[in-house]
Amino acid sequence: MSNLSFKGDLRTGGTGIKTQLSLIHFIEDNVHIIYSPALDLTGYGNNEVEAKDSFQVVLGEFMTYGLNKKCLFEELKKLGWKVRGSKKKPKVESPDISDMMKVNADLGEVINKKDYTKYHQEVLIPAY
């Protein structure tokens, strides 16, 4: 099993918020999938490295769009994240996996019925 090295460091004019992001790697129909339940984002490929690279692109697009539209923290709240503090010093906390499984049947199926590997990765969520 390879080590999933992941960097989520996207910087803009402000500082960023470091947080832990859980990533799940599993294989479905011979396709490697990297899934972030907390962000409901998926990357995929013919192998784990391709899936990781795909996920990095998807995460980058999610962050860039959220920053450009100034809706990143609102999107995180919709996904169950706790967002507190001020715009200059926000604090974010991802939802618990058990809470996510209550509202995401697909996640429950992956956790309960598939072989998977879970990774914890520190990422930097950029501030506005």
User: Within its chain, how far is the Cα of 42 from the centroid?
Assistant: 8
**DSSP code for 29:** T
Convert the pLDDT of each residue in 7-58 to its tens digit. Answer: 444 444 556 677 778 999 999 999 999 999 999 999 999 999 999 999 999 9
Examine residue 93 and state whether it is found in any structural domain, yes or no. yes
Examine residue 77 and state whether it is found in any structural domain, yes or no. yes
Q: Kindly state the tokens that stand for 112.
A: 């309960």
Q: Is 127's pLDDT higher than 80?
A: no
Examine residue 33 and state whether it is found in any structural domain, yes or no. yes
Which structural domain, as residue segments, surrounds residue 36? 15-122
Examine residue 79 and state whether it is found in any structural domain, yes or no. yes
More confident residue, 4 or 63: 63
Convert the pLDDT of each residue in 58-108 to its tens digit. Answer: 998 998 899 899 999 899 999 999 988 877 777 888 888 889 999 999 999
Examine residue 3 and state whether it is found in any structural domain, yes or no. no
| Cβ atoms of 103 and 62 closer than 8 Å | no
* H helix intervals, 69-96: 72-78
Examine residue 38 and state whether it is found in any structural domain, yes or no. yes
- Distances in whole angstroms, Cα of residue 24 to Cα of each of 7, 39, 43: 15, 12, 10
The count of domains in the chain is 1
Examine residue 42 and state whether it is found in any structural domain, yes or no. yes
| pTM summary value | 0.82
Of the chain, the end-to-end C-alpha distance in Å amounts to: 37
**DSSP code for 88:** S
Examine residue 111 and state whether it is found in any structural domain, yes or no. yes
